[in-house]
Copies of this chain bind each other. A is one copy, B any other.
Amino acid sequence: MTTTQSFLDGLAAEVAGLPRASTAERVAELLRRRVTEGDLPPGSQLSEEQLSAVLQVSRNTLREAFRLLGHEGLLVHRLHRGVFVAELSDDDLVDVYRVRRAIEGDVVRRLGTAAAEDPGLLDPLRADVADGTAAARRGDWSGVGTANMHFHAHLVALAGSPRLDAATARLQAELRLAFQGADAEAMHAPYVQRNADLLDLVAAGRAAEAAAALEEYLDASLAHLLALRAAGRP
């Protein structure tokens, strides 16, 4: 070890984030954007021949990208029929929130007074709340939605569990799918304040109350989302 430790800190993580990716992964990232941003509506089919021609990659590589997104829940693969942008049923949404309750509830409950003892722990959450309020003030409802997602991702990250982080990322990908077509303001606006309230409870170390508030929060959010979908469907 001939170099200073401070220089080495975090280097590995930094390098891991760089464009060190296979072609399939880059294609997957591209498709991921198109899907989550609504360019590809749920239910639409992705033709191998057509896409491989447009993207200038072989069918085999494209298939690898399909598999990646399939395991993220964004695409569904039907044998001999092709891949389609996933369509979330109401039951799926209920299930997604079922898992969110389990994960986020457990995280909050187990936090206990840790946040009260180390205030810096919650800084990322505070930043997300600030981003959300700022975005709401300028009417950027898509920005509010993003801040919202970041808030919950950072909340789960407090547990320091790679598997919970991965599960959360997958759930959020599915949620983005469900948000397609919904009125962004109606969808995201009410939750800026609730995030702030939840953060206060966590920061105060009142874990039980925070867990209860979170539960009610998620129930309301699910009901809201289902109502919006029902309204926008017939």
Binding site for B on A (CB under 8 A): 20-22, 60, 63-64, 67-68, 71, 79, 95-96, 98-99, 101-103, 105-107, 159, 161-164, 167, 171
Residue of B nearest to A22 (CB): B79
Task: List 10 interface pairs A-B (beta carbons < 8 Å), by A numbering.
Answer: A63-B64, A64-B67, A95-B162, A95-B163, A98-B161, A99-B163, A102-B164, A105-B106, A163-B171, A167-B167
The residue among A67, A95, A163 with the most chain B CB atoms within 10 A of its own CB is A163
Q: Shortest beta-carbon distance, A92 to chain B, in Å?
A: 8
Residues on B with C-beta less than 8 A from A79 are 20-22
Asked if A98 meets B164 with Cβ closer than 8 Å, knowing A60-B60, A67-B67, A68-B67, the reply is: yes
Q: Shortest beta-carbon distance, A89 to chain B, in Å?
A: 11
A95 touches B20 (CB 8 A): no
Residues on B with C-beta less than 8 A from A64 are 63-64, 67
Report the separation of the CA atoms of residues A124 and B101 in the bound assembly, to the nearest whole angstrom. 25
